[in-house]
Chains A and B, each alone.
Chain A
Amino acid sequence: MAVLIAIISLTVLGIPIALALDRAARGPLLLGAAFLYGSGTIFLVLLVVPWTLPAVAIGALTVAIIAAIVAYRRRAHSSLITHHASLHLIDIATAVTLAGYACYATIAPLWEWDFWAIWGLKARVFFEHGGIDWQFLGRPWNAFTHPDYPLLLPLNFDFLALAGGGWNDRWLGILFVAFGVAVLLVARGLASRETTPLFAALLTFALASIATSRYIGLAEGALIAFGGVGVLFAREALLRDDPAAWRHAAVMLGFAANCKNEGLAMLVAVSVAVAVIRLRGVIRLWPAYALAAPWMLLRMTHDLATDIAEGSTLGRALHRLPYTPQIVAFLSEHLYEKGFWIALLAGLVIAPAAARAREHFILLFTGIQLAFYVGSYFITPHDVRWHVMTSWSRLTDQIAVPLAYVVFLMLADLIRRGEDARHAEARSEQ
């Protein structure tokens, strides 16, 4: 119950922030974005204020009041204003999927190795310490906890523990349900303005098992949410040059960078993709870098090393370069949900060239992020096979939402309007 109240509190905290960024936000988009902003904001609050419930409440309230003032002064001129997200019978299937995921996520105290050895361990140590325990992170024997990993998720766990009055890993899984639901709400809100209620509902259903991370207790759930939503907003921003979408994208991607190191890579990948399409657009992502900066600075100040960068990364890369075909074959062999990825690729090929051209941001982003992922296997200090086996399925999960979203919409558009549909729209937007 306490966890539920904490999650509702995060959503309430996030509403004025979402409105400050986008005065026109309504319905599912507002609700989904609000939870994510609440979750991201509480991370920032816990970086700054003492870890007592009154101090955290005052900190959060201060942010909410400032955001409400900004929201009040901001005029509602977002292009996201016009959409309506109607319910559809298919939403029942989505709701059942989410109910099933909620059952799974809360079936037992969190069981994943990486939860109790990394994310949950840090959260529990910090909770008992009453703040970030830099000594713990700096001890050589605790290198297994990956001290350099950003702390958005552990600090969210700590907020739930503070709100609940003690550490209890039995119900922390609810947080992952909230992350998944938030992605679906935003995706539904955005899709509703591009397609029919039937296709928007089908897309939401298809995304339901992608947005909800299988790895309960790990930062994947948070990264899929912040990163996926951030990329979708960046797409909106590029397609419509909408200031509110730019702000959403920047803040979401900034929080993604505070979930995992891959989130930081995601921010760079988005920036490069944006720069290729519209160089000046990169400037509008500055809030993302501002949000990523505090942890980067703290990490440097406390000399928290990244294991993947240990020793000679160039030496390892050069040594493995001749084995590229073997590494790529191994990645292909261990691709999780292979049929789904093949279906997405097939969808890309089937879609009209004009539709693909319209989506080149997402395709470019996906390619760059994949290159980062594959590149990490060339420089890893660990055994490549072991590293692939323990991470590849999680990495591909992280980029599935935006790609599935655009492939789905391209196919839906082709089915609805025929082959020249995007030609017409592409012309009208130029």
Chain B
Amino acid sequence: MSPRRILAIAALAAVIALRIEPRLLQLPFMDRGPLMRGYALFADRLWPEYPRFLEGVRAHTRPGDKVTVVVPLMKWDEGYSYAYYRASYFLSGREVLPLVDAKDGLHRENFRAATYVAVWQAPFPAPRTALVWSGNGGVLLRR
């Protein structure tokens, strides 16, 4: 056998071996419970309660409503981007307006434009607002 054929066998074996995914081969036969719980919490590992609050907000608002969110971290990279994007997903159909942008600039005009303020685990002085619902760590206020 020529050296090139031997090298070809080695390269082919390497391509195959390097594409073997031991975890995928094990998954069908292992207890997936812990993994399942881990992945179920993965998206909201920062604030596991937040999605439940958003579901409550969704139940108390209607499609087309303008909602803004107030959370404990009002800096974009420290948590507001997550809070805003996650709210956009759970409150689909409503228009979710951010109070902070990617450069941490404050957008008061969005607060003024919103009909509802969803406040989660944050102190919030709420003059001229009406409590619509409270639960799961937060309140929904109507302006």
Contacts and interface: CB of A to CB of B under 8 A. Distances in A.
B21 interface: yes
A103 B16 CA distance: 22
Nearest to B36: A107
A183 interface: no
Given A347-B12, A411-B12, A340 B18 contact: yes
B92 A346 contact: no
Size bracket, chain B contacts: 35 or more
Given A100-B24, A343-B18, 8 more contacts: A96-B24, A103-B28, A108-B40, A209-B24, A343-B14, A346-B7, A347-B8, A350-B7
B24 A340 contact: no
A103 B24 CA distance: 8
Interface in A399-430: 404, 407-408, 411-412, 414-415, 418-419
A150 interface: no
A350 B20 contact: no
Majority SS at the chain B contact face: helix
Nearest to B95: A139
Interface string B19-36: 111011111100010011
A364 interface: no
A413 B102 CA distance: 54
A99 B86 contact: no
A129 B15 contact: no
B4 A350 contact: yes
B8 A411 contact: yes
B43 A111 contact: yes
Contact of B92 (A121, A339, A350, A415): A121
Interface residues of A, number: 53
Contacts of A108: 36, 39-40, 42
A129 B97 CA distance: 18
A141 B97 contact: yes
A116 B93 contact: no
B12 A121 contact: no
A12 interface: no
B126 interface: no
A109 B24 CA distance: 19
Contacts of B122: none
Interface string B33-52: 00110011011000000000
B39 A100 contact: no
B25 A96 contact: yes
Given A97-B24, A107-B36, A419-B2, A117 B89 contact: yes
The interface centre, meaning the residue of A93, A107, A121, A346 with most chain B CB atoms within 10 A of its CB, is A107
A142 interface: yes
Contacts of A206: 15-16, 19
A407 B63 CA distance: 53
A344 interface: yes
B60 interface: no
Contact of B24 (A101, A408, A411): A101
Majority SS at the chain A contact face: helix
B43 A113 contact: yes
A205 B26 CA distance: 15
Contacts of B32: 103, 107
Given A108-B40, A419-B2, A419-B5, A407 B15 contact: yes
B11 interface: yes
A56 interface: no
A124 B93 CA distance: 8
Given A100-B21, A108-B42, A414-B5, A121 B89 contact: yes
B85 interface: yes
A99 B97 CA distance: 42
A408 B12 contact: yes
A370 interface: no
Contacts of B4: 350, 352, 414, 419
A350 B2 CA distance: 12
Given A100-B28, A109-B40, A414-B5, A141 B15 contact: no
Nearest to A345: B11
Nearest to B24: A100
5 contacts: A100-B25, A109-B40, A116-B43, A117-B89, A418-B5
Nearest to B39: A108
B73 interface: no
A355 to B, nearest CB: 10
A104 interface: yes
A340 B16 CA distance: 9
A352 to B, nearest CB: 8
A141 B26 CA distance: 43
A412 B95 CA distance: 56
Contacts of A347: 8, 11-12, 15
B94 to A, nearest CB: 10
Nearest to A337: B18
A80 interface: no
A142 B16 CA distance: 43
Interface string A108-126: 1101110011001100110
B82 to A, nearest CB: 8
Contact of B85 (A96, A109, A116): A116
A210 interface: yes
